[in-house]
Amino acid sequence: MNLNQKKYSKYHITNPNFVSKIYFSLIYYLVSEILNCENKKILDFGGGQGFLKKKLITKYSCEVKLFDIVDELSEIKNWRQYNFDVIIFCQVIYLLKIKEIKSIIKNIKKRKKVLILSVFSKQTLINKLFAYLLGHKEAHDDTIISPKIEREILIKNFNLLKKYNFYLFEILLLKNK
């Protein structure tokens, strides 16, 4: 999908370059290895252009729906109307206001068996240097909550099953309490 970059840049949806493709391909590979998605219904919350969806449906027999703030990229209008086995937040929660996060968490808590997988940038100096070198110097300018706060909110509201720590990003696998 060739995006109108000016139109979508405010939503942090970019056409990836060579290096950012490698970075996100690594994340998508790890997500697909961590989750057993076979025969699962998955919500890719903030899924953008659907690169993670493509990775998951190529590897597994699963159903993945995209929900994004950009209507043209969403496959569903209201994610709250659907039941999912897994909800993935891949580098999206940091862009949400606390009120929005609380609303999302409240809805997820109403569901019985749902896994939550959250990937977030640690926003280290190295992350910022790479973003600058790759021409995405504004990559974290719209950060509303820090990675530390994001982690705390998720762990406070859900049971942490596993934490995967990488130098540039972290992955949390959680479930309802």
Query: What is the 8-class DSSP label of residue 125?
Result: H
* C-alpha span between 17 and 9 (Å, rounded): 14
Task: Spell out the domains of the chain, with CATH numbers in brackets.
Answer: 5-176 (3.40.50.150)
**Measured CA angle at 161 (ends 125, 29), to 5 deg:** 55
- pLDDT value at 117 more than 90: yes
- Please give the pLDDT value at position 144: 78
Per-residue pLDDT band for 123 (boundaries 50, 70, 90) equals low
- CB of 62 within 8 A of CB of 42? yes
- Please give the pLDDT value at position 173: 97
CA 61 to chain centre: 20
Q: Measuring CA to CA, how many Å separate 146 from each of 27, 39, 93, 122, 141?
A: 19, 34, 10, 8, 11
- pLDDT value at 138 more than 70: no
Per-residue pLDDT band for 116 (boundaries 50, 70, 90) equals very high
Instruction: Give the residue, 136 or 68, on which the prediction is more confident.
Output: 68
Tens digit of each residue's pLDDT (9 = 90 or more) over 60-110: 999 999 999 888 889 999 999 999 999 999 989 988 899 999 999 999 999
* C-alpha span between 25 and 83 (Å, rounded): 27
- Please give the pLDDT value at position 136: 59
- Please give the pLDDT value at position 46: 92
- Please give the pLDDT value at position 11: 45
Q: 150: which 2 tokens?
A: 């994001």
Average confidence (pLDDT) over 112-139: 73
Residues 6+ apart with CB under 8 A from 49: 1, 3, 13, 73
Average confidence (pLDDT) over 137-160: 83
Q: 144: which 2 tokens?
A: 């509303």
For tokens 């569903």, name the residue.
Answer: 76
* C-alpha span between 117 and 121 (Å, rounded): 14
Specify the pTM.
0.84
Beta-ladder partners of 63: 41
- Please give the pLDDT value at position 177: 79
* C-alpha span between 101 and 126 (Å, rounded): 27
18-34 vs 51-59: helix axis angle to the nearest 10?
A: 40
